[in-house]
Amino acid sequence: MKKSRSSIVAAVIGLFVVQAGLGLALQPIWAKNYMPKQKGVAAGLNPDQLLAALAGFREMVAGILWVRADSFFENGNYDAILPIIRIVTLLDPHQLDVYATGMWHIGYNFTDLQQRSDRRYLPSAIALGSEGAKNNPDTYEMFFETGWIWHHKIEDGYDRAVKWWDEANTKKDILPARRNLLASAYIRNGQIEKAMDYYAGLLAEANKRVADKTDTDPMSSSMRDTIERNLDNHMIRMSQRGWMAKTKGHGPIPYDTEPPFDVGFSVKVTVTDAKKLEFEGTWNVLPVGTRIRVILRDADYPHAIAGGVDWDGDAESVNLDPPTNTTYMQDQLYVRNRRFTKKIDMSADPTMYPFNKDKYLLEFYYSPRNAPPHIQDKFSWDGQGLTDKNFLNTEIRPGVRVIYTSFEISRDEILRRGEWADKAPVRMTSNFKKQGLNAIGSDVINSESLRSSTSAPKPAPTGPPPGMVPPSRPSGPVAPGSN
């Protein structure tokens, strides 16, 4: 009997080792596919919800919470949705809908009264997308959505859009129509030939699908036609914009991008009242579609770069309470009839624009990478056809000719305090010249082709084509308070 007991004890010890090994071997698979992310969940749930979640109902609790978020969406109570997004994604990290909607919500929906989104949330949106992708590595959706934020919302750092969409492309479940977008990201990232090769690859695959008798998808044929049209357009643009000639080492040929066109950027900014700015300026491009980015931010805004922010910098973890002591405003100045005017009122949104720092930076930035095709036909993707006597910059975005200038401005000036209480602070480029509404006849939008007016070779590289206004006096920004 004693011997038998010893054998059982030995067997128990042996089996214990076996189960420990098995358990630890299974743990990573369980953590990847089945585990909730409970860190912080307890803090966000009511006791009854927590009990229900612990009792095996966590997906149900997550589902009901998400339904609750729906009613907050309808009521416009956007702040209340944030903790729900966090709790739901922690309780059920495989609810792709919550991740995707949450990202969009955080990235787009927090706006001021003039519908400018609060970009301080962008790192959180990116972090949520990254977390969703990490928790759902076998489906394309969160990789695609995170790339979309870079491509559509941030409109900068396109290498990140390429990275995310490249990864999305490796997933088996990606929809064919969504694969096409990677070419757009390549183009905006300056990988023009890679985009062509990518389109060609997609076309070969689409041709194969159409030829496949077993393929019953009615969209296959139209999809193939779309890809072919995109490839044709891209190749025509590569030719007309002189890209092929340039990369093949041909000499100066009067392609549509030659000679570079001087956009004659000028701007004047007036602080009309506390936190109210008025912009006016010139941009000698007549065809509609120009958007100049304007930024007003803390001079020491975290991870700031000229003309934007490296939004990946703070995107390590989802933080639904962005720093409330920072200020970052970004908007677009729309050019019509070669000039722009805009009033920006930040006075009604103290949470979004707290202006706690002493120094701020006003930036103006234009990149041909984001321009619509009819303007890119003249400027090309990298700005070969774009110049400006005063503000052309080839350094802040390597490989791209952009227009950039900036002004420093103080807190007292923005808040109209102290010596600025009775005097409107002004910043303007020295080439700024006031243009009335009738400077070009009327406020009607004239749409003239840039390309048709520049197709013939010109002796002077900066000579303005017909219909374009020559730039004013050349010079840089003017010192503060010079008005």
Partner 1 sequence: MNAIVSIARTTFAEAIRRKVLFIIFLIGVTFLAVAPGLNVLSARQERTVLVGFTLGVIQLTSALIAIVLTVYLIPNEIERRTIYTILCKPVRRWQFFVGKYLGAVTALGVMMAAMTVLLIIVFALQQGTRDPAQLAPLAKGPLMFFFQMSLLAAVAMCLSAMVQPILNFFLTGGIYLVGTLFGTIFETFQENRGVHPVTKAISQLVMSILPNFGKFNVQNPLINPNQQIGNESMYYIGTALYGVVYIIILLLIGILVFERKEV
Q: Site residues (CB under 8 A) for partner 1?
A: 5, 8-9, 11-12, 15-16, 18-20, 22-27, 29-31, 33-36, 38-39, 52, 54-64, 66-67, 70, 92, 94-96, 136, 138-139, 172-173
| Contact assessment for residue 132 and residue 96, using Cβ atoms and an 8 Å cutoff | yes
Total residue length of the chain: 483
Which secondary-structure segment (H or E) carries 405?
strand 402-410
Closest contact distance (angstroms) between CB of 93 and partner 1 is: 8
Nearer to partner 1, 88 or 333 (CB): 88
Closest contact distance (angstroms) between CB of 98 and partner 1 is: 10
Closest contact distance (angstroms) between CB of 16 and partner 1 is: 6
190: left (phi over 0), alpha (psi -120 to 50) or beta: left
| Contact assessment for residue 415 and residue 251, using Cβ atoms and an 8 Å cutoff | no
Closest contact distance (angstroms) between CB of 49 and partner 1 is: 13
Give the integer Cα–Cα distance in Å for 283 and 417: 32
Closest contact distance (angstroms) between CB of 30 and partner 1 is: 5
Nearer to partner 1, 100 or 202 (CB): 100
Nearer to partner 1, 96 or 299 (CB): 96
Nearer to partner 1, 177 or 421 (CB): 177
Give the integer Cα–Cα distance in Å for 326 and 436: 36
Closest contact distance (angstroms) between CB of 196 and partner 1 is: 32
CA 178 to chain centre: 17
Instruction: Tell me the angle at which helices 181-188 and 158-169 cross, rounded to the nearest 10 degrees.
Output: 150
- State the amino acid at position 331 in one-letter form: D
Give the integer Cα–Cα distance in Å for 372 and 162: 19
Q: Which is it for the CA torsion 375, 378, 383, 386, positive or negative?
A: negative
Nearer to partner 1, 174 or 400 (CB): 174
Nearer to partner 1, 5 or 434 (CB): 5
